[in-house]
Chain A
Amino acid sequence: MPPLASFFLKRLLTALPVLFIVLVGSFLLLEAASGDAVDAYIARSGTLDAQQIAQLRMEWGLDQGPLYRFEAYVTALAQGDLGWSTAFERPVTSVIAERLPVTLLLMSIATGLAFFLGSLLGIAAGARPGSVRDRLLSTGSLALYAVPGFWLGLVLIVVFAVDLRWLPIGGMESIASGKAGLARMADIAVHLVLPVCALAMVYLALYLRLMRDRMAEIWRDPFVKGLEARGLTRRRIVWRHVARNAVLPVITMLGWQSAAMLGGSVVVESVFSIPGFGRLAAEAVARRDTPLLLGVLLCSAITVIIANLLVDLAYGKLDPRVRIGR
């Protein structure tokens, strides 16, 4: 098997036990929550007498032991059944399938922006560690790193939507605008500018820091002295050698950062009233909808696992040491 494929397969295999542990965890949370599926059923369909309740519990296997219930839970999950959302009166799977694309769009634009701008500014700072430009950018990124995304979102709304009226205050697109095709896409893009900024800024600061610190370390490496001795221009050393080596750990961070960004999307989507996956988590808690909450939890774990696998793949392509199987 080619080294890259076996590397990928190995990563995939370690992801399975992790997913199983997440399953056990979410099952335990479901058990710990007050009320079971029958209580939820009663809540939405009115009263049942004690005999009917016992009958239903037996039919759904809720009178059995926890191991049996866990098996039933996993079997249902394997068939793509995440349970019944009491808040939306629909299967959890369909609610999530409707909301997830919005958040994935938001997250991928924010990740791309943060990674691109963050590493460019990081290179600008790390090209000459200790210079004035480096100190300004480093301190600036430290300040930006301390800003909570949801508050930044509110400040952006005050400035750009309320005072300047340049951009819409929230939502995913104009309601009942009748726009289609390109006009609709432009409308969505305008609506996403502020939420993307609110979500991306923290990570931009993080990638700037990472890139800059890693570059500062690489400058101390003897191979850089060798390049200087060979008479390479500074620009070439910075871009082709130092920055290129420094970007690898930043890429590794991208996968795990997707978890933090999913968490961040919960608040940012609430601030901008975007009907996304993140806001679903807050709605599930507010409306005491445990199956929905656990569905969100599980799907975000799967999203993070997939993001990490993609990063591994990209890493394998970029780093020759992985490609030749060392």
Chain B
Amino acid sequence: MKTLNLEAKIGAILLVLLVLMALFAPLIAPGDPLAISGEAMLRPFASEAHWLGTDRLGRDVLAGLVHGTRTTLLVAFFSAAAALIVGSIVGTLSGFLGGLADIVLMRITEAFQTVPGFLLALATISVTGPSVPTLILAISLGNWTQAARVTRAEVLSLRERDFVAAARTLGMRPLEIAFREILPNAFGPTASLAAISVATAILIEAALSFLGFGDPNRVTWGSMIAEGRTVLRAAPYLSIVPGIALVVTVLSIHLIGRGLSHTERLQP
């Protein structure tokens, strides 16, 4: 294992800080972040009680920011994980079975790629209603196709290897070979998509809640930006601050992803 490069280190530090912020949100900013806690529209750094100021209704911006980390990371990690798992299963089946199954599964994958992921998420939410589990489902629906393609390509190259032939002579059943022998070996390249999947999920969740289709019972960065937009002229920072949080989070994920892929490429 090579040591991480500088980019990846910065990304990892940022992400660890964000995860800590999410875990200890109730300690950093006690109480309900959606509750009114003071005077409305306080500017940042003007009051000691409200470090980053308050919004149009007098809710603390810092508390919203800290609690928003929870929603963002929760939805992003679970939907990216679901997308990778579904994608690698579809890709393994497609590549291993070949023939008609391959054609059908690949056409389905292509159909999902053809519909914009954000619109698919929007349509799903409109049927199921917004909540954290349905958001995870809706976002992963448009996010699994790349994993399926990458896994399939990898499985195709592994299928004819000797260890697969050996497993066959041992009398393993085909599906057992596919999921116990081939999938674990094909998972490396798929896992390198993890960073992109998490970043995409964060941005889709933010855009959904910006449009007002996020979980209404939770504070999210997207909904904070939308809330600030109504007073954009008077208090632009209300929209700008949660956006910076989004950029920092997505950037940290990209830095880690890029750093890891560099390390992988440098290995002999």
- The residues of A with any CB-CB pair to B shorter than 8 Å are 14, 17-19, 21-22, 25, 29, 32-33, 142-143, 145-148, 150-151, 154-155, 157-158, 162, 256, 259-260, 262-264, 266-267, 270-271, 281-282, 284-286, 288, 290, 293-294, 296-297, 300-301, 304-305
Contact = CB atoms under 8 A, between A and B. Distances in A.
Contacts of B115: 22, 25, 259, 297, 300-301, 304
A166 B95 CA distance: 55
Interface in B105-128: 107-108, 110-111, 113-120, 122-127
Q: Sorted from nearest, which 4 A-B pairs have the closest CB atoms?
A: A263-B118, A21-B111, A151-B243, A263-B116
A262 B246 contact: no
B67 interface: no
Name the prevailing secondary structure of the A interface residues. helix
A305 B113 CA distance: 10
Contacts of B246: 146, 148, 151
Interface in B192-237: 199, 203-204, 206-207, 210-213, 225, 229, 232-233, 236
B254 interface: yes
Given A148-B207, A162-B236, A267-B207, A18 B123 contact: no
Interface of B: 107-108, 110-111, 113-120, 122-127, 199, 203-204, 206-207, 210-213, 225, 229, 232-233, 236, 239-240, 243, 246-248, 250-251, 254-255, 258
Nearest to B107: A17
Nearest to B261: A213
Nearest to A28: B127
Contact of A155 (B122, B126, B233, B240): B240
Contacts of B203: 148
A296 B119 CA distance: 9
Contacts of B233: 162
A154 B111 contact: no
Contacts of B126: 33, 284-285, 288, 290, 293
Contact of B123 (A148, A293, A304): A293
Contacts of A263: 116-119, 204
A266 B123 contact: no
Given A259-B116, A267-B211, 20 more contacts: A18-B107, A18-B110, A33-B127, A146-B246, A147-B247, A147-B250, A150-B207, A151-B243, A151-B246, A151-B247, A154-B225, A155-B240, A263-B119, A266-B118, A282-B211, A285-B122, A290-B126, A294-B123, A297-B123, A305-B114
A288 B258 CA distance: 41
A326 to B, nearest CB: 20
B229 A18 contact: no
Contact of B254 (A25, A142, A282, A305): A142
Nearest to B248: A146
A154 B239 contact: yes
B131 to A, nearest CB: 15
A124 to B, nearest CB: 19
Contact of A264 (B118, B213, B236, B251): B118
